[in-house]
Structure 1
């Protein structure tokens, strides 16, 4: 069976499963729509959390970045994994103990202010919409190649699927859909890795294959890769550091605290019955995440090796353009791989020298999808990878869209503007908000500003600079008041956005990410994608400064902060009586 037909069948089956689950688990109340009824098993919730967290950036883009930047691309691996640990240790159990639906609701209650709640809604929407754009890039890349449709058509089809199972099922439908999507994406990621590791090293475990010798040779895989890329003028794969030390630190920390402040992941810990289940969910989610993240460096190195050995054979040899393999021709049709014969010799010159390099475009996001084709794996494996990439993008997109919809319907409409609407009216408003969020996300996805992981890094920076400090101070400091929290969130968000857009907008970020040359106006050499950590520092500083010169929070709020951190009565949410300002 040809690849396109097989891909249609496998992707079609997975989509049918997602839609079927949505109808089976459709939400009948706001409690089911927002938090799946609060009764999800910790193991199931851990799997859904992993799928929610491992987006197109994790599945498609992370390994592609590591493949091309080597050691320098490890900031994504370290930042996202470390951030999940921060979330599981410092935020999730305490927020679950408080027992409210959303992050803005917690911020509104903790800082006894509707204004704080509205500011949190704005921060959430800005970060989440930016994040969704990255998922749309992943959907477009996957569809454009394997279903042989254009990028725009892929977006429309993908968003239609999300619309059905997210709007119908809410968090309940999304949770069980994400469990299925995790199974699809993890098999799609690991099975090709096992095949290719066996092919290159004879070792079926990719993590071990990365440090093994090549089949029939005494040369280690990484040594061979270092030799190939340096012969072509690129930096050594295992030691290249395209970011300065300060930039690397800032980028990693921005991703870490941005991860810990992501509302669509935090809300997952409200879907279990009690705090102990939230901790168990965090453990299981980390187990499920590690399977993919520990495999990514092997996938990256093997993909880079296969790419160069195919396009640039042994020293002194060049591949004739007319003899390019079928995978090369198919990816050329997508516009994500492009060759330009600069010297009219009909041979492909792939080198680090921009003046001589004829591979003028090799999109980083294609590496995971193209690798099985380059390695000439069976068609069913290649089709499975397509289904996995789509599952990763759609699972995270659904979680983000739900976070946006709940912020609009529950926090803004029910919490501030129309507090007396019925549960049915709120549920209908949630579905309308979800449909609107899907439409906006689809529109923005037609012109993604960066590769998937780069766009996602911007989203993490926005969450790091605005939401994470407010949550941390809300849990661990009794002295931070509403004036300080509001001033801090606005300061962090505004200076981060200004820093990004002062460099001629988001498109400038795409052209400067990971470049060695530092523009003169970069603050301490920190690029815009990594500036969230500076925004977070400003957020903390302003919040503490303003709180120090204004009135302390009411005593009942201070008591609530103490109670949240108390280990006893862990299963019971805190109930407080307080009046909110207008």
Structure 2
């Protein structure tokens, strides 16, 4: 059976599954719409959280970035997994103990201010909208390549699927759909990796295959990869770093605290019945995430090796363009892979020298999706990867859209504009808001803003600089008040946005001789996508200073903080 037919069958089957789950799990109350009724078990919630967390960036982009960055790509592995540990230990149990529906609701109550709640809604929407653009792009790319429809059509189909199970089911429908999507995406990611590892090393475990010898030789796979990339003029795959040590640290920290501050992940912990359930589901989620995250470096290294050996079968022997394999022709049609015969010899030269490099476009995102084709795996595996990529993008998009809809319908409408609205009217408003959010996300996917290329990392930076500090201080500080929280969130968000969208000369460091070789408008060599860590420090500092200069929070708010942070009965135990 040809690839297109198989892709339609596999992807179509998964879509039927998602819609069937949505019809079965329709939300009948606001509690079911916002937090799935609060009765989701830890294992099920852990699996749904993993799917919600592992977006198109994790499934498609991460291994692609590692494939071309090598060791420097470790910032994503360390940052994203480390951030989930922070979330599980420092935020999730306490927010679950608080027992409300949304992150802005907690911030509004903790800082006893409707203005603080409104600022939190603003931060949440900016972060979530920025993040959802990347998911929409992933949907369009996967459709355009594997189902051979244009980008716009693919995006519209993806919007329709998300509309069905998110508007009908809310968090309840999204939760059970995400469980199915996790099963699809993890199967799609690991099975091709197992077969490619067997091809290259005779080891069926990709994580071990990456550190094994190439089958039939005495050469280690990573040594072979290092040799190939250095012959082409690139840095060694196993030692190349991402700019400076400071930048690596800032980028990792930004991804970590950004992860812990992402609202669509946090609200997943509101769906379990207890604080213990929140802790347990976080552990299960880490386990489910680790399956993909420990496989990704192997996928990246093996994909880069196969990619280079396809273009340069032997040192100095380059592939003739007219003899390029079918996978190369297929991806050229998408515009994500492009060749320009600069010297007119009809052969493909790929090197680190930009002047002579004839692979003028090699999008990182093609590496995972094209990997089975490059390795000449069966068509059913290629179709499975397409379904997995779509599952990853759709699952995260649904979680983000629910976070946006909840913030608007529950926090703005119910919490501030019309507090007396009935539950039935609020549920209707939630569904209408969700539908509008889907349409808005689709529009941004069809007409992405100029900064869309870095949307995923930017979303983490914005969450790190705005939401995470407010939550941390709200749980662990009795002194931070509403004035401090509002000023801190606005300062952190503002300085990060300013740095990202700065024009040449804004925040310019006058003398850069002691900073080394770097773009003149980078603060101590920290790239914009890593600046969320600096924004978070600004947030913390401004909030602390302003709080010290203004009145302490009321006694009832301090009691609220104590009750969230301390286990039940702790006071009585200390008294005895």
The TM-score with structure 2 as length reference comes to 0.96
Is it true that 1:164 corresponds to 2:200 in the alignment? no
The 2-side partners of 1:445 and 1:553 are apart by 43
Match of 2:414 in 1: 414
The 2-side partners of 1:310 and 1:452 are apart by 31
| Correspondence 1:193-272 to 2 at 5 A | 193-272=193-272
**Cα gap change, 1:451 to 1:66, in 2 (>3 Å):** farther
Cα-to-partner distance string for 1:158-182 (whole Å, 9 max, x where unaligned): 1111011101110000000000000
Q: 1:446, CA displacement in angstroms? A: 2.4
Q: 1:448, CA displacement in angstroms? A: 4.2
Match of 1:493 in 2: 493
Match of 1:155 in 2: 155
Q: 1:440, CA displacement in angstroms? A: 1.4
Extract unaligned runs of 5+ from structure 1. 506-515, 571-582
The answer to whether the Cα contact below 8 Å between 1:150 and 1:334 also exists between their aligned partners in 2 is no
The answer to whether the Cα contact below 8 Å between 1:139 and 1:155 also exists between their aligned partners in 2 is yes
The answer to whether the Cα contact below 8 Å between 2:43 and 2:281 also exists between their aligned partners in 1 is yes
Match of 2:279 in 1: 279
Task: Work out the number of aligned pairs and report it.
Answer: 560
Match of 1:292 in 2: 292
Is it true that 1:16 corresponds to 2:27 in the alignment? no
The answer to whether the Cα contact below 8 Å between 2:410 and 2:426 also exists between their aligned partners in 1 is yes
**Cα gap change, 1:449 to 1:244, in 2 (>3 Å):** farther
Q: 1:77, CA displacement in angstroms? A: 0.8
Cα-to-partner distance string for 1:506-551 (whole Å, 9 max, x where unaligned): xxxxxxxxxx962111111111101111110000000000000101
The answer to whether the Cα contact below 8 Å between 1:62 and 1:453 also exists between their aligned partners in 2 is no
SS in 2 for 1:364: coil
Q: 1:449, CA displacement in angstroms? A: 5.8
Which is further off, 521-530 or 52-61?
521-530
Cα-to-partner distance string for 1:244-285 (whole Å, 9 max, x where unaligned): 111110000000000000110010001011101111100100
Which is further off, 395-404 or 445-454?
445-454
The answer to whether the Cα contact below 8 Å between 2:504 and 2:521 also exists between their aligned partners in 1 is no
**Cα gap change, 1:75 to 1:451, in 2 (>3 Å):** farther
| Correspondence 1:184-195 to 2 at 5 A | 184-195=184-195
Q: 1:150, CA displacement in angstroms? A: 1.8
The answer to whether the Cα contact below 8 Å between 1:61 and 1:453 also exists between their aligned partners in 2 is no
**Cα gap change, 1:75 to 1:7, in 2 (>3 Å):** same
| Correspondence 1:61-140 to 2 at 5 A | 61-140=61-140
Match of 1:477 in 2: 477
The 1-side partners of 2:148 and 2:503 are apart by 36
RMSD of aligned alpha carbons: 1.4
SS in 2 for 1:316: coil
The 2-side partners of 1:453 and 1:199 are apart by 34
**Cα gap change, 1:293 to 1:538, in 2 (>3 Å):** same
Q: 1:433, CA displacement in angstroms? A: 1.0
Match of 2:513 in 1: none
Match of 1:513 in 2: none
Match of 2:327 in 1: 327
Is it true that 1:60 corresponds to 2:66 in the alignment? no
Which is further off, 430-439 or 451-460?
451-460
**Cα gap change, 1:348 to 1:451, in 2 (>3 Å):** farther
The 2-side partners of 1:452 and 1:315 are apart by 37
The TM-score with structure 1 as length reference comes to 0.95
**Cα gap change, 1:251 to 1:397, in 2 (>3 Å):** same
Extract unaligned runs of 5+ from structure 2. 506-515, 571-576
SS in 1 for 2:343: coil
The 2-side partners of 1:158 and 1:34 are apart by 22
The answer to whether the Cα contact below 8 Å between 1:141 and 1:365 also exists between their aligned partners in 2 is no
